[in-house]
Amino acid sequence: MRILITGMGGELGTRVANLLEADPTFTEIIGIDSYPPRRRTTRADFRRVDPRDRRKAVHLVRDFDPEVILHLGIYEPNARFDPTEARLGTAASAVAVLGAARSCPSLKGIVVRSGIEVYGRRRGAPSRPDEQAAVDPTTPFGLSMAYVEQVAIEAGQLAGVPVTSLRCGPIVGPSVPSPLGRYLRLPVVAVSPFAELPFCLLHQEDAALAVVAAGLGGHDGPLNVVGPGAVTASQAVLRGGRLPIPTIGPGWLLAAAAAELLGAPLPAHTRELLVRGGVADGALAAEVLGLSPRPTDDVVAQLYQWATVAHITPAARGAAA
């Protein structure tokens, strides 16, 4: 099976490529992104393509003629790019790659990385939406992903193939560049203990497994991929041994500015998650993809675990060689 991965330079894209490399079903793997993969790949062929370079991306997709497209080129604001660059990159990547999909005669399916942010957290919105809930994003990141889903559905209709939109919970992990992860790991963290609602998380490895399973599955429609259970921001901060600072109203502007100074900018969707919460019903995804993501409690625990660094002395290095 020939498979194309967009956003292969990201943590999720690289891990998905590694998982695909281990499966002989996937005979040819090509990945594109504007940055190289974050880990070594063996069989996957990486091509450096700027998502805004539509002409190059379209040629590459047409020439490769993939059977499955895994569109992971979704750039979270303040993860690796500033919010404007992330929004423009996400939109350009979707239009270029998914737009070219209809001219791929061998195409059998499209998988898109989306997020539960597409449901939005407007006042009165369902607390734990399932896939039937209306898409009503309330943040720029949610809007970006809703747009990508729409482009993918259109491309799927034109190509006559199923489109799986994986609406992932916030993906965090010890090595994922995530504004939420960075913020929660600050030594002092602003929270709203009297107004906050719980949120769920998704471990980076479960997100990668879900993408691979969706690539093989051919499900047509959205799937919520979330870790079971939920925590509030205060709980997460306390579990991490950080100091929570109760904050209300305009205090959040000050908190966001302070967090940015400390290297953990707080984009709108993360601020919304911390106060308004964000969970989703992941039962359908568990059934369709056959996955059991790690509980949110475990993901929080891992977020605060720092891997031990093994210092290798020059002598030891020589011995190892």
Could you list the residues that contact other proteins (CB under 8 A)?
123-130, 132-133, 192, 194-198, 200, 229-232, 234-239, 275, 277, 279, 281, 283
Query: How many Å separate Cα 313 from the centre of its chain?
Result: 37
Nearer to other proteins, 171 or 230 (CB): 230
The least distance separating other proteins from the CB of residue 216, rounded to whole angstroms, comes to 27
Nearer to other proteins, 18 or 224 (CB): 224
As a whole number of angstroms, the distance between CA 259 and CA 143 comes to 24
Nearer to other proteins, 253 or 283 (CB): 283
Which residues are paired to 70 by β-bridges? 5, 111
182: DSSP letter: H
Amino acid, single-letter form, for residue 158: L
As a whole number of angstroms, the distance between CA 257 and CA 136 comes to 28
Nearer to other proteins, 152 or 300 (CB): 300
The least distance separating other proteins from the CB of residue 229, rounded to whole angstroms, comes to 7
121: DSSP letter: -
The least distance separating other proteins from the CB of residue 256, rounded to whole angstroms, comes to 18
Nearer to other proteins, 105 or 241 (CB): 241
Nearer to other proteins, 50 or 130 (CB): 130
The least distance separating other proteins from the CB of residue 289, rounded to whole angstroms, comes to 18
- Distances in Å between the Cα of 118 and the Cα atoms of 26, 136, 187, 218 are 31, 6, 30, 22
The least distance separating other proteins from the CB of residue 316, rounded to whole angstroms, comes to 38
Nearer to other proteins, 84 or 132 (CB): 132
As a whole number of angstroms, the distance between CA 226 and CA 206 comes to 9
The least distance separating other proteins from the CB of residue 149, rounded to whole angstroms, comes to 20
Name residues whose C-beta falls within 8 Å of residue 68's C-beta, 6 or more positions apart in sequence.
Answer: 1, 2, 3, 4, 107, 108, 109, 110, 111, 215
Structural element, H or E, at residue 109? strand 109-115
As a whole number of angstroms, the distance between CA 32 and CA 52 comes to 12
The least distance separating other proteins from the CB of residue 38, rounded to whole angstroms, comes to 31
